[in-house]
Structure formats: structure tokens, C-alpha cells
Amino acid sequence: MGKIIGRILRMIAWNAPIYQFRASLWRKCGVKVGKRVYIGNLVYFDGAYPHLITLEDDVSIGPSALLLAHSGGSPFHSQTGIFKQPPKPILIKRGAWIGSGAIILPGVTIGIGSIVSAGAVVNRDVPDFSVAVGNPARVVSKLPKPGETVKDTEEKK
């Protein structure tokens, strides 16, 4: 896909009024989007490396979240070689929920059924069935797995 067409599709997807339409547009832009995925308004997926972002089935991403597969640095840092970090894939596993305004940085995997709170900055992996909050994000609690009760989860602590 050409750069101009890709940019136009991203702009339409950013503001599309229907979330199913947004998901299909992001698929066309190169993001790997599973089934029943909710993508909120103004969600930004890395424009240079959308193919490195994978959203598995039943993922939910709140408005204004950022998923960045690369960190380019300024032209000065790139030209002088001070900062060199290659792009890294982002994987959001099945059933994960990314809160509004959260930032997911390169190389991060969000585990199955995990929750990332609104405004969190995630710079490392979040395990399955966990709640991550803050800047930088840290895991503050575990969630019950399907079939478990909250009491079962608390007994494991």
C-alpha cells in the first residue's frame, strides 16, 4: 500500500464512528486484528510499522491509547548513532483490555485477559490475568482465570 493511501486510511480509522469499521480499516493498514476487537476513537497505532502490532480475539482498546512499535529518536540522535533501537513487535493477547490513554511501548506483550489501566505507560510484559497500573506500569493484582473464583485467586497469594 502506498504511503499516501496508508495515511488517508489511518486518518479515517482514527475518527471512524463505528468501531467495527475502525477495526477493518486498521486491518487494511497492516495491523493484525482478530475477531470481536473493540478499538476506541483516536487510538494511534505506529504508522511506520503497523505490521508489527497484533491484536488477538476479544481485545478492547480504550480511546486515545498509543501503541508504538518503534522509538526513532530525533534526527540528531539517529545521525550521530547515540540512540539506535530497532522496531519491536507488540502483542496484545486474547481478551486483554487496554484503558483510555494507555501507552504501549515497543516489544511489549500484554497477557491473556489482562487489564492495563487508563494512562499507564507499559514498558515491559504484563503476565496473563493481571492488572497493570502507573508510569512505568507495574502489576498490582491478579485476576481470576475463567472457572476460578476471586477466593481461589486470593488463596494462591
Q: pLDDT tens, 85-95?
A: 789 999 999 99
Is the pLDDT at 72 greater than 60? The verdict is yes
How would residue 154 be classed by pLDDT, with cut points 50, 70 and 90? low
| pLDDT for residue 102 is more than 70 | yes
Average pLDDT over every residue of 45-63: 94
Output DSSP code: residue 58: T
Distances (CA, A) of 59 to 17, 84, 93, 125: 18, 31, 7, 16
What was the pLDDT predicted at 6? 80
Higher pLDDT, 64 or 151: 64
Which amino acid is present at 149? T
The pLDDT score that the predictor gives to residue 130 is: 97
pLDDT band at 129 (very low <50, low <70, confident <90, very high): very high
Residue 150: band (very low, low, confident or very high) from pLDDT cuts 50, 70, 90: low
Q: Note the pTM of the prediction, 2 decimals.
A: 0.87
Stated length of the chain:
157
What's the whole-number average pLDDT of the chain?
89
Task: Tell me what pLDDT residue 76 has.
Answer: 80
Whether 96 and 115 have beta carbons less than 8 Å apart is answered as yes
Structural fold of domain 3-156: UDP N-Acetylglucosamine Acyltransferase; domain 1 (2.160.10)
Residue type, 49: Y
How large is the average pLDDT for residues 18-31?
90
